[in-house]
A and B are shown apart, each in its own frame.
Chain A
Amino acid sequence: MKKHRLTGLWLFCFSVWSVGCCLISAAEEVGEDRQYFNEKEVPEDLRDLRNIQKALQETLPQARAATVSIDLGGGSGSGVIVSGKGLVLTAAHVSAGVGKEMTVIMEDGTKYKAVSLGLVASTDAAMVQIMEEGVFPYVELDRGDSASLGDWVYALGHSGGFEKERGVGVRIGRLVRMAEQTINSDCNLIGGDSGGPLFNMKGQLIGIHSRVGASLEQNMHVPLREFLKNWDAMLAKEFVGKGPFAQEAVAFLGVSTEDREEGGVVIKEVGDKTPAADAGLQEGDVILMLNGNELDGAEQFSASLKGFKPGQKVKLKILRDDKEQEVEVELGEK
């Protein structure tokens, strides 16, 4: 099999070659455990096909039980449970932030409250935690990073949103393109599958669905190694990396201010139902200090607010009716 069709700039050839070698040697290390049909270029006869079918059907019930729909109110994606306590892996553009509330729906329609943990914005990896008590069905991870180009795989997901009568959809395919941060399969995906699991024929999780291209064979998944690499950070609710799959929430106070000659900034307007209003800030108040640092203009004030995260508390020293006072405000999310 011609494994490597190299395209693109010549300059990158060396790095392409070296990454390719790593993958090949990794595959050799786990060679003994590999299913025999993955060692063949293509299945040779009906027996090989029946063995692929058998492997898929033996592992499918557990995979289906652990695959969930994630309902975000306005839209929905998919996810997969990876621990008995209800830890869910999904895509960053599904969870779309840290600490967000959502509903996880099992194939039988049971709903659980859940909240998003951390995510990797650059590669579309994310974690969600079910917040209710229970012993949840879960799948095993391919911790050995054994996935290799041409392997037979299957994809699950709640295409187009949860539909009880239909249940989870399963699609078969092969790994057709392998890159460091993305793997492609020819398992057909569509909207709603995002965040759903990609399995090898042992029923181990090897990736999470991310996006599709124009052709039916361009179905892209985040490789599991990207999750393993950022596991602790995601558990710790960190927002890792920058876009394009999620934008970090911007801290929000809820006032418009203007410069003041004597220093500080003057509040021109306090928005309704904003953190500023909740903290009792009023039009005409002068903000002199933010967490002990003097302010010297509206622009600088707004820039320093961007250094905080939603939910953080800041101390403002304000001047009202010629009296200085201190106000604590919990910043909101824009």
Chain B
Amino acid sequence: MIKSRKWKLSWVRSRGIPILLSLVVSAASAQQQVGQLEGEFRLNGKETWKAFDPVREVLQESSAVVYDGWKSIAYGVIVSSDGYLVTKASEIEGVEELSVRVNREHFKKVRVVSSTVEWDVALLKVEGQGLPVIKWAEPEPAHGTWVISNGSTTRRDRRLRVGIISANARKVGEGRAPVVLGVTLDTSGEEEGLPVKEVQKDSGASEAGLESGDVILEMEGRPVRSMEDLQELLGSKEPGDRIQVRLRRDGEGLDLEVELKRRESVFEERKTRNDAMSGRVSKRRSDFPRVLQTDLPLSVRSVGGPLLNLEGHCVGMNIARANRCETYAIPAKELRAIVDNLIGKEKAGSAAE
């Protein structure tokens, strides 16, 4: 007898009546077991992958594996033959022993050049020459188009995962700034300024000494009267930026400097029932300006690499494992603009030196 946990698939919002929430524990009787398709013949089985081999070759040549010590933590897209590549920024944050493998070559010296928190993309540089650059696909892939990406890796070989474009390309999230002070605010009052209700543990706000009851009056010398003011100001910031905050505490003015941190590292996400059936998901999986959605069954450590079509051309970059049936990718068009921007800034910077 096989005993397994099964979930009914109606979706119930948290305030909903929990009738449809019940966990169905069912025992499949032996009588019902008619036939099974062996794992290697399934969608992501190794026999099925063989037909995709020409595309796997592209991953072998022009995707990068990003390591923390001996452990692979993400993939990367090679965007210049002299060693620039992009990956998912939040996955490499704080990594001390960063290295990169391209095909069978291991680059132990990796420079984190810059990043954009808006898209969660980091630009890396290795000392390489003649690296195979990804070829960009045009136009954007329609629903049902095969997509192929890195699945796992050995020192020698890149393996793949396959799926299709699943839904409309779109903005995900509520347009919140990706960096935060680390406070919850009372926006109900008539007061000038924003009263602090709570200060999050391990946030820039708590490190700077903000307290509940403080009233935020100004940031960077500009008055903040609403959440919109605050979001607009934070929208253009990167994690690690420090921001001047003017407060009122017990009737007196006070100036503090607060370090901004990534939203997902400060605020814990509320877990939904769909999260419970999804396994591990990317820490940063929302608030992207525009994404493609695929059904690729990626692990959180297999994002950051190129998303390819059957021609082996790059339609995007995997940016988040969102849940059991959704993986997001930055579309090629936006990714190219991000790359141009990050490399452009770097070149302008070094020219100035």
Contacts and interface: CB of A to CB of B under 8 A. Distances in A.
Interface string B197-225: 00000000000000000000000000000
Interface in B34-58: 34-39, 41-45, 47-48, 50-52, 54
Given A57-B144, A214-B5, A186 B43 contact: yes
Contacts of B155: none
Contacts of A307: none
A19 B310 contact: no
Contact of B50 (A42, A173, A180): A42
Contact of A12 (B2, B26, B30, B166): B30
B48 A160 contact: no
Given A42-B51, A45-B51, A217-B42, A188 B34 contact: no
Interface string A174-195: 1111111110001111111111
B17 A192 contact: no
A262 interface: no
Classify the secondary structure of B's interface with A: mixed
Contacts of A167: 167-168
Interface string B1-27: 110111111111101110110001010
Contacts of B13: 74-75, 161
Interface string A143-187: 000000110001000011100011111111111111111100011
Contacts of B324: 188-190, 212, 216
Interface string A38-54: 00011111101110110
A317 interface: no
Nearest to B30: A8
A53 B34 contact: no
B38 to A, nearest CB: 6
Contacts of B19: 74, 96
B319 to A, nearest CB: 16
Interface string B161-177: 00110111011000000
Contacts of A93: 8, 10, 20
Classify the secondary structure of A's interface with B: loop
B43 A174 contact: yes
B142 interface: yes
Contacts of A173: 42-43
A179 B34 contact: yes
A169 B9 contact: no
A23 interface: yes
Interface string A1-39: 111111111001001100110010000000000000000
B43 A181 contact: no
Nearest to A55: B144
A18 to B, nearest CB: 10
Nearest to B46: A42
Contacts of B142: 57
Q: Which of A43, A73, A160, A214 has the most CB of B within 10 A?
A: A160
Interface residues of A, number: 86
Nearest to A124: B8
Contacts of B146: 49, 52-53
A218 B324 CA distance: 12
B7 A191 contact: yes
Contacts of A57: 142-145
B103 interface: no
Nearest to B273: A191
Contacts of B274: 159-160, 190-192
A320 B28 CA distance: 56
A72 B10 CA distance: 10
B350 interface: no
Given A50-B310, A74-B13, A177 B170 contact: no
A76 B10 contact: yes
Contacts of A174: 37, 41-43
Given A45-B51, A91-B9, A96-B20, 13 more contacts: A3-B35, A20-B34, A23-B34, A41-B41, A42-B47, A53-B146, A165-B168, A165-B170, A177-B33, A180-B32, A189-B9, A191-B277, A217-B39
29 contacts: A3-B35, A5-B36, A9-B30, A12-B30, A44-B50, A52-B146, A75-B16, A77-B10, A91-B8, A159-B326, A160-B323, A166-B170, A169-B326, A172-B144, A172-B164, A174-B37, A177-B35, A177-B36, A182-B28, A188-B325, A190-B274, A190-B325, A191-B12, A191-B274, A194-B9, A195-B10, A210-B9, A211-B9, A214-B4
Q: Which 8 pairs between the two chains have the least Cβ-Cβ distance?
A: A8-B30, A194-B9, A192-B11, A74-B16, A75-B12, A188-B325, A179-B32, A191-B11
